[in-house]
Every structure is written in structure tokens, then in C-alpha cells.
Chain A
Amino acid sequence: MESQIKEIAQFLTLQTRPDIKLPAIEFIAGLTGSSETNTLIARNTTIIDAAVNLTKDEIENVADAAYITLINVTGDDHAANYLCKKDYVQSLLLYALKKTAKYADKACMILCNLTRLSQGCDTTMEILQSQDGRKIFNQLLDAFFCSGYNKHATYHHVAAILANVTQVQAARRWILDKDKLIIQKCLPYTQYYDNAIRRRGLIAVIKNCCFESDCNEWLLGEEIDILPHLLLPLAGPEELKQEETDRLPLDLQYLGEDKVREPEADLRIMLIESLMQLCATKPCRMYIREKMAYAILRELHQWDKNEDVLSTCEKLIQILIGDEPEAGMEDLRNVTVPDNYSITDKSEAIVKK
């Protein structure tokens, strides 16, 4: 197989006759479709370089197949690390933001695959933090939030890119900028059932941002009012007691029998984990308790069948209905946990292949 691949590699240039390069690149793209052969290609930097080159091909099908090759191949860590070069990431970003770019969505998918690794994340952030970087970042947000930015693309995968880069604190601080209020635009997406990629990505962004504990009070405050956005997807059609209903945020009162919960278990978990992060400090914890989040979680616990959701839910319920920790331990993040009890719980962003 390897010798065959090598043989084909020589046809993967812009200058090759179309009737040869098209089947050649389509063959390679086909190989990346199964995980076994994908690893093989991922280790072949000649092919990867050639594919990068062919994305600029004038023939639509050739460029298309080249993009598919790169998307699949970057699902492999080896190839992703190889492509995490500053120049390439920058060119991808700039291409994706062109209003006429035909393959903007595909470029976003590659970026998303690259940023899932810490190296890709760092490279991307390095670019975004450079002189023109903020402009690129803002443009990326424009493309994502404003429909019709580029008629060839949906920019759904920007959500996943954002989810990945918010593993870096600098990106979280941008999202949490108190003048730009980007987080405010993100919140409605917790209930964006039209598109799972956007919803998943932005729930991850929100969860990552909840790790910035100094912003938690602001997030829960009336300007941003994050709580209903986190609780609504977890709430179901059950009728609650009057005194519970009255304490809930307005958006959660009297939801009615057609209310459905977030269908994806891992997204329910992320929402609960976000709430858990917000519970880290005492004033925020008191507020969430006051707003009767417990009632929503209790009903979720009754309804949910997924073990992982149930156990995450139990952890949060413990915090909500348990006794307040003793003096000096109120900030749950500063409590030292004895080694034998600790479970490494890092800010994990979702991985999109």
C-alpha cells in the first residue's frame, strides 16, 4: 500500500493533467475515510503538503477532495501536529474569513481539528494575539454570529474552534469582555436546537468561561443573567410546587407539557458542570440556591437514564442542598483536596473530529 501511495504522490501537483490528478486526489481522500489508511496518510508529509497545495486547484472537485483529505487527516494527532505551523494556520484563518471563500466551512473544520491539540491551540492564539490578531478574532465572530457573511459557508464549526481556543485563558477573557459582551451573544445558543455543532461548541465555550471565577458574579448578574440559559435546557415539562415555581428565574416558570430537555447527554453534563463552576464561590452559590436550581436538577435526576449525567447531577445537588462548608473553605476552588480523594478535573473542551 505504501508504495502505491508513494507512486500516486507524484501526480498530486497543480500542474498535473486534470484527468490524472482528480482520480489521484480522490483516491487519497477515499483512503482517509477509514481510520487504518488514514493513519498511513497522516504519517506521509509529502502527501499532506501536496494536499495543502491542491486546495488551491482551479478544478472544484480537486480542491474539494484535497480539503476532505486534510479534514480527515488532521483527525490524526500526528498530521495535526505537523500542520500546526503558524503560516499555515494563519493562511487558513485568513482564507476562512474571505467573504467569497468557497471552502470556508472546510477550512474551519481543519482549524477545528488543529485547535483541539494544545499545540494548535497555542499557535492559533499566538496569531490572534499578534498585532492584527484581534481583528481576525472579531471577524471570526462576525462570520459566526451574522448569517449571510459568506453565502458559500455556514461557519457552524467556528463554534468548535471557539470551544477549543477558550481552553486558553486569554481567549476566555476576550469572550468575557465587559464592553463587547460576546458572552451575551453566546448564551442563546444553549437552546439552539437547529444545529448541534453550534450548540455543542458554545455550551463548551460557556463552560470554559465559567472557570474564570472572578467573572462569575457578573455572569449571574442581571446584565448577563446566565442562569436561565444553563437551566432551561435541563428543565422538563414536570409541574413543580407553587413555592418552587415562584423562586425560579422567570424564564423557567410554567414551562408546560411540551418542554423538552437537551437531547445529548454530554451536553447536559457540560451544562451541569458549568453550574458547578458557578457554585464555587459563596455569593454565587447562595444565588443559585435562592433561584431554586435544585428543583430543576431533582426533576432531571428523576428523568435521566444516563449514568454519567446522573452522577454529575448528584454532585451538584450535593453542593446545592448540602451544608455550607466551614469558614475558610467557602471558596471550593481553594480547598486542598487530599491526594487520595482528588480526581483530576481540568477544563476540557470538546474534541471534534
Chain B
Amino acid sequence: MSEEVPSSESKNDNTSQDYDEEEWMKELQKVPLLMTEQPDEIDPETSPALAALQALKYENDEDPPEVKAVNYKDDGNFHFKRKRYHQAIAAYTEGIKQNCGDNDLNAQLYNNRGAAQSYLGNNRSALNDATEAKKLSPTYIKAFIRESDNKKLKELKLKAVKNQKVNARNHRKENLLSKKEETSIRNLMQALKEREVTLDGLKSYSDIETMSIKDVKALLTPPDPMGASAMVYLNEEMVIHWPILFIYPEHGQTDFIKSANENDRFMDHLIVMFDDNEAPPWDKENKYKLKNLEIYFEDKDSTQLHRIHLHQTLKEILTDKRFCVKYGIPSFILLVTESRRILTTSFSILLV
């Protein structure tokens, strides 16, 4: 970037060799006549002309500091009225630096600077200036306090009140939702109890009374990635919907159904899953046809598999004393007639 690149516009070369337009504008800004903005601080090094002009107005040594301070104050007020708060602050600061003996004047300078600070949102500086002004002239401060009181503090207060209301609302919302969840879980447990569904990790339904809702929920929450969104639920018609898992041990595959009505027959699901025209991608041999399918469930102790008939409903199986819901998901093993032989030899599971 900064390497010398031969410029095609050689006209600029005679003014200054390295200047691009931006820098040129900066240079112009240092000439008092062409300035578009007043600098916050005047450095005699960078803008000697301005410093000289400033000296004309303010550094007339014959003027007592009081007069100079008043000049700075007027300057500050001039900027303040035009909402140029940074410049107003600079002017008031110069005025304060004069260290004049007039306490009321100094109080005004501090007070006005504080007001400018408060408009910029510098509340701490505003407060410090206000305190300083108050020290210098205890009677003068009223107007300023009112000013900041009315504007910034009011805004701040409104904001705080709103935040408080939002927090209170969120708190109420959470309470309400957790109460709702609690009732729905209690109702669900009641329905499960009536159906005598065996849950892994729960010895007796009477234990639930003493358990926390979180622990009860944990009994029924499927592990990730299915998670709580797939949890079993009781709808308004008092029908339970379960997440169910079909396992194909022969292929190491599974099928997950997020919400199955307990009154559905196994056939209802399988008929959709095993369309005659479209075999599952892993079924290379095209064996998994509805007519060949056999479903089993594992009993509580994982020692035996029990055959399920396709026309049986989910509810019938879940209420079977031998069945146990593990991890909140009833799971079933799917085989085809031929694979039974393979399984009996490769897995030491007894088929009944």
C-alpha cells in the first residue's frame, strides 16, 4: 500500500509528494478559516494558527482569570445550545482551569459541564461535576439536579421498571409452565398405573408420591438424541402416545417412531414401513416383507424373547407383565422367518 507507486496524476506532485486526498483534507482542517469542525483540544504543534487565534481571545494576559473564565463559559454555552456537547465540555474545562476566585462562576462551569456530560450519557462524570458544583455553591445546584432527574434518571427508572416487569412476567410464566408440566406428568403416571405398565427403575407406583417431578420425568425421558421432545404423553382423550423403537438385529438397524398411539396395532405401522414396492435400503436380499415379519419383545431380565402377533395393539403388549419399558422407549425386535435360525445360533437368546 504505502510503497511508492508511480502516480498517473502527476499534477499533485508539486503540492506534496505523498498526500492523498484524505490527508490533504486533514491538512486543510488545520487552517482556521477552512475548518468545518472545532477540535476538542488545540495543540499548538499541529495547528499553530488556531492556537494563535485562541491566544488572541483567551490568553490576553491583561485579562483577569475571571474574565477569561466567563469567556470560556460563554463559549461553552454557545456549543451547548447547539448540542455540541463535546466542545462545550472542552470550553468549560478551560474555564475551570482558569482557577478564578469566583465560586459562583466556578460552580456554574462545573454545573454546565455536568449537564453536557449527562446529555452524552456520562452519568458518573455528570455526577462528579454536580458534586463539585454543589461544594462550591450549595444553593445553585437545584436546576441541574432537576435537569438530570427529569431526563436521564426518568429514562433509567422507566427502563428499570420495565425490566422488573419482564422478570416478574417470566417468573410467573415459568411457574405456570412447570405447574402444568407437573400436572401432566402426574396424570400420565396415573394412566400408566391404571394400565400396570412396568417401568425400568420403578419398583412400585406408590413410590411416585415421594419422588420429585424431575426424577419421575427422568424415568420416562428417552435418552438423547431423541430426548424430552419424544417423551411419552397422555392426550386429552386419555390416550397414551409412545415413542417406539424397532430393532433389526440381523442388520444392526433401527426404526424410530416418535409418537405411536397405544391403540395402534403393530400391523398398522409395519404396513407403512414395509411397502412391497420399496424395500429398506439395508435389506439387500429383499427378505423383509410384511408376510415374513416376526416381532418379539424382550422380557424384563433380557433373558427371553416373546413373540408378538401383528394384530396385537401396543397397549396389549405394554400391559403384559413380562414387558418392561426401558429408557422411556418401548422397543421391539423385528426378524424375518429365515433369520430366526441364524439368530438362535449367533445370539444365545432363547426364542419362545
Contact = CB atoms under 8 A, between A and B. Distances in A.
Interface string B159-191: 000100110110011011001000000000000
Nearest to B157: A223
B154 A256 contact: no
Contact of A222 (B158, B166, B169, B179): B158
A250 interface: yes
B172 A253 contact: yes
Given A222-B158, A223-B154, A223-B158, A254 B176 contact: yes
A52 interface: no
B175 A250 contact: no
How big is the B interface, by class? 10 to 19
A228 to B, nearest CB: 9
Interface of B: 154, 158, 162, 165-166, 168-169, 172-173, 175-176, 179
16 contacts: A222-B158, A223-B154, A223-B158, A250-B165, A250-B168, A250-B169, A251-B165, A251-B169, A253-B173, A254-B172, A254-B175, A255-B172, A256-B175, A256-B176, A256-B179, A257-B179
B165 A254 contact: no
Nearest to A259: B172
Interface of A: 222-223, 250-251, 253-257
Contacts of A222: 158, 162
Contacts, number: 26
Given A256-B175, A257-B179, 14 more contacts: A222-B158, A222-B162, A223-B154, A250-B165, A250-B166, A250-B169, A251-B169, A253-B169, A253-B173, A254-B169, A254-B173, A254-B175, A255-B172, A256-B172
Contacts of B173: 253-254
Contacts of B168: 250-251
Contacts of A254: 169, 172-173, 175-176
A320 to B, nearest CB: 23
Contacts of A255: 172
Nearest to A245: B173
Contacts of B169: 250-251, 253-254
A351 B293 CA distance: 84
Contacts of B162: 222, 250
Contacts of B166: 250
A299 to B, nearest CB: 16
A255 B171 CA distance: 10
B270 to A, nearest CB: 38
A256 B171 CA distance: 11
A257 B179 CA distance: 10
Nearest to A251: B165
A193 to B, nearest CB: 18
A138 B246 CA distance: 79
B170 to A, nearest CB: 9
Contacts of B179: 256-257
A254 B168 CA distance: 10
Nearest to B170: A254
A250 B167 CA distance: 10
B148 to A, nearest CB: 15
- Nearest 8 A-B pairs (CB), nearest first? A250-B165, A254-B172, A254-B173, A250-B169, A253-B169, A254-B176, A256-B176, A222-B158
Nearest to B172: A254
Contacts of A223: 154, 158
Nearest to A248: B169
Nearest to B154: A223
Contacts of A250: 162, 165-166, 168-169
B309 to A, nearest CB: 44
Contacts of B176: 254, 256
